[in-house]
Amino acid sequence: MKHLRRETVLAITLFSILLVSFSVNFVSAQSVPEWVKNTALWYGEGIVSETEFLNMIKFLIESGIITLESEDDVISEVMDAMVIIPHRNSDIENVGFYMPLNLEIPVDTTVTWINEDLVPHNIQSQDKFGKISDVFNSPTLNSGDRFEFTFKEDGVYNYYCTFHPWRVGSITVK
């Protein structure tokens, strides 16, 4: 295995941090131009000076190719989660479970439910007896509608749909 110099590791680490902590305005990371990758690599190998490397980053920011976000935005992006209400969720048969059925998230995560079924649903938190509790309660979600809730406290939260009460899902907040 090729031995990487300390500077190379540092440069790769720095570049990775840059790519991760900046929102990249490319369709995907694969479309990062070759010269950007090369400059990062050359910087690591000492061919390109630190000034040139930083100038490249500056150019990328100034030209709007990468955009700086506040740390809070980066964190909130990481802390987002989704639950899909899939097609046939209304069926009483063993199909169409919430995806995921049991979502595990850290505290302060915003969960978004998306109705991808063809019929309306809702999301109602349940108490331990299975009755509606007022922790989170969505209006009727038509096909394509979303509902969001941010979990501030740990615990296990069950929820169901009042139109299709056989559909129960859970959110575990740790």
Strand partners, 159: 125, 169
Residue 155 phi/psi, 5° resolution? Answer: 140, 175
Least separation in angstroms between CB 115 and Cu ion: 8
Closest to Cu ion by CB, 39 or 138: 138
Of positions 11, 96, 121, 157, contacts Cu ion by CB under 5 A: 121
Question: In which element (H, E) is residue 135 found?
Answer: strand 132-137
Stretch that binds Cu ion, among 6-14, 47-55, 100-108, 162-170 (CB under 5 A): 162-170
**What residues from 37 to 96 belong to the interface with Cu ion (CB under 5 A)?**
none
Residues binding Cu ion: number (CB under 5 A): 4
Closest to Cu ion by CB, 48 or 161: 161
Residue 164 sits in the site that holds Cu ion (CB under 5 A):
yes
Closest to Cu ion by CB, 38 or 162: 162
C-beta separation of 108 from 152 below 8 A: yes
Residue 163 sits in the site that holds Cu ion (CB under 5 A):
yes
Of positions 161, 169, 171, 173, contacts Cu ion by CB under 5 A: 161
Spatial distance between the Cα atoms of 132 and 76, rounded to a whole number of angstroms = 28
Least separation in angstroms between CB 99 and Cu ion: 14
Q: Which two tokens stand for residue 173?
A: 């907040």
Residue 159 phi/psi, 5° resolution? Answer: -145, 165
Question: In which element (H, E) is residue 111 found?
Answer: strand 109-115
C-beta separation of 116 from 84 below 8 A: yes
Which residue ranges make up the site for Cu ion (CB under 5 A)? 121, 161, 163-164
